[in-house]
Every structure is written in structure tokens, then in C-alpha cells.
A = this chain, B = another copy of it.
């Protein structure tokens, strides 16, 4: 298929382990297996004995029951284990949803900024994609009237990331219900990439809690510090749709493998430990960001984040890719440039990695770089 370059992967992955200050990643500080066992009080010997005696056959086609139970525990009682499909990562989840839902003649409403899969896969399939872009001027708020005007009887899905990637903007329950109302008006699916959900003292509602045609995707990669399990999932209360998704999964990945499913189950059974640990990490770093940005007249964070990233806009006329390239080359700081999210003059900064001094060091380098641009008369 004629599909666009996946910008964020092309930009970040080759530089991920090379930058002196890597502020590009959006993951919360990854754990080692040993740290996972220690923080969750899992018996190490018993764990390795279980792995040791595990058959390397396919494992569970429907997902390991223990894992599905742990996933169901992330939602309200509206969600039960039979509504869950375990898949290969959040990427696998989004991919399966897009391929399974989009058909010729449909249209898709995609609320940007968003993960690129949600507009580039439908485009590649040949489906009309109607883009609504939240912008910095309005603090990345969604204009519900505009979304309502964009949908029609051929709208198969409305999709968004909540909490948003890259801005961290998070819809309240009431705002989600407004979107549900719009989706219901045309009988559309409402798909939320919820991979950044959970870093809050209050329960963050999932679209699956609120809408029978809601589809939530997520994984262990971000707020659960365990991208290496490659375990993701799709949740929907629409069981006929789940069967369609399962068929698409057979074409995509079959199943997830028992070792990774076991590790993911341990992670998710201890969700509150991860939420608390990572909320502390991101709040400390975010406070440092907000403090630093007060002294940066060219920069602005246009909305508060409930996630592990914030999105910074700048007021000078250097393209987003060029700015990020210069910053990397001159100051060895990696950020995720805004064009990865179809947003110019901006970049995403990640601060979930858990070393606030390192983070401050990276911010200082960014400040130096802007100063050097000023001194050169480039801005």
C-alpha cells in the first residue's frame, strides 16, 4: 500500500540510544525484570520456575486469562474479560482497529494531534479522512460543534488519543460524553488511544466505560514502564466487533506469547504501584519544565499535561524538523519534532524517564541552543 512514512519512528528510533540528552521518548522509566519482581513483591524463584517450565508453544489464542483479568481491572465494571483482546503492543492494537473498521465508502474523523496510524492507515486503505486539528491558540481544546458538523452517516469512526499525544491534554468525563453523543448521532465507533491514561489521583474514564461502541487501545509501554513485553490490548463492549477484530488479528499476529503475557499480567495486577511511581516522576519533571519555561520567552506550553509529555510551541520561523535537527547536532539533545504530529514550530518533550537533574540538563541545553540562534541572528 502507498502509506506515508511513519515520521515519529523514522525520527526517534535511529537516534534513541545516541543522544546525550534523550528527551524524545514518551515512556515512563522502564523497569528491569528484577525491579518489577521486587517492587511487586513477586517471588523471584517462583517466577523463574514458572518461566522455566513454560512450554514455548503458542500459549493463549484468546489471551492469558490472568492477563485479561488484570486488564479488565483497569476499567470500571462496564468492562469484563470477554471484551478484551490481547494484541502485539499499542501499535498492533491501533493497526488492527484501523484495518478492521475502515471500508471503501466510509469516512473517518481524526482529531489531531494524534498517533499517525489513525490517519495514515485509513488514507492508505483509500478511506476519506476528515481532520480536526486542535491548536495551541485554543489550548488544544476540541471544538465539539466543529466535530459534530464533520460527521455524517458514512462516518465509521471518530478517533483521538486521550490523554493526548503529544500535548497531554485530557478530556473530562463530561467532554468524553459530548464526543459519545456526537458518535451516537451517526452510529459511529469512537476509538481512543488511551496508552497514556492513568497518571492522575482521580480515575480517568475510558471510552469503554461510557459507550457501547467505544473502542479503547492501550499497552504496557508508557505508564506501565514495560514496552519490552510488547503486550497491548483492545477493549470493546461490542462483541460482534470483537469477533471482527479477532479475525483481523489472525492476519496480523495470532497471539502474544506466554512469557510476555505473564510479565504483563504481573505489571497490570500492580497498576497502582506504577500509577503512583510514574505520577510522581512526571509531576516532578513537569514542575521543572514549567519553572524553566517561565524564563524562555520564545517558548510556550499551551495546555496542561496529564501525561508523560508536553508539547512546546515556539514563536520563530524555523521548521520543526530543522529546529530538532539543529538541537540534536549542536547540543546533543533529542526531542520529537512537531511535524511528527503534523504541527509546525513545535516539539514534544518527554519527561517520564525519572531523572530530573538529567531533564534539567537537557532543558538548559535547549535554552543554550535558542540563545545561540539569537546570537547568530537566526531568530
Determine if A95 is an interface residue (Cβ-Cβ < 8 Å): yes
Determine if A92 is an interface residue (Cβ-Cβ < 8 Å): yes
Encode A1-44 as 1/0 by CB contact (under 8 A) with B. 11101100110011010000000000100111110110000001
CB–CB B95/A252 < 8 A: yes
Minimum CB–CB distance from A25 to chain B (whole Å) comes to: 9
Determine if A258 is an interface residue (Cβ-Cβ < 8 Å): yes
Determine if A102 is an interface residue (Cβ-Cβ < 8 Å): yes
Which of B48, B55, B121, B126 is in CB contact (< 8 Å) with A32?
B55
CB–CB B9/A230 < 8 A: no
CB–CB A6/B36 < 8 A: no
Interchain CA distance A9-B247 in the complex, whole Å? 8
Encode A82-108 as 1/0 by CB contact (under 8 A) with B. 000000110110010001101110000
CB–CB B230/A253 < 8 A: yes
**Interface residues, chain A, with chain B CB atoms under 8 Å away:** 1-3, 5-6, 9-10, 13-14, 16, 27, 30-34, 36-37, 44, 48, 51-59, 61, 88-89, 91-92, 95, 99-100, 102-104, 117, 120-121, 125-126, 221, 225-230, 247-248, 250-260, 263
25 pairs of residues in contact across A and B, judged by CB atoms under 8 Å: A1-B103, A1-B125, A2-B103, A3-B99, A3-B247, A3-B248, A6-B247, A6-B250, A9-B247, A10-B247, A10-B250, A32-B54, A33-B51, A36-B56, A56-B225, A56-B263, A58-B227, A88-B88, A88-B92, A91-B250, A91-B251, A91-B253, A228-B257, A252-B252, A257-B260
Other than the given A9-B247, A126-B126, 5 more pairs (CB < 8 A) read A6-B250, A9-B61, A27-B58, A228-B257, A253-B253
Q: List the 6 closest A-B pairs by CB distance, nearest first.
A: A30-B57, A6-B250, A56-B228, A9-B250, A230-B257, A56-B226
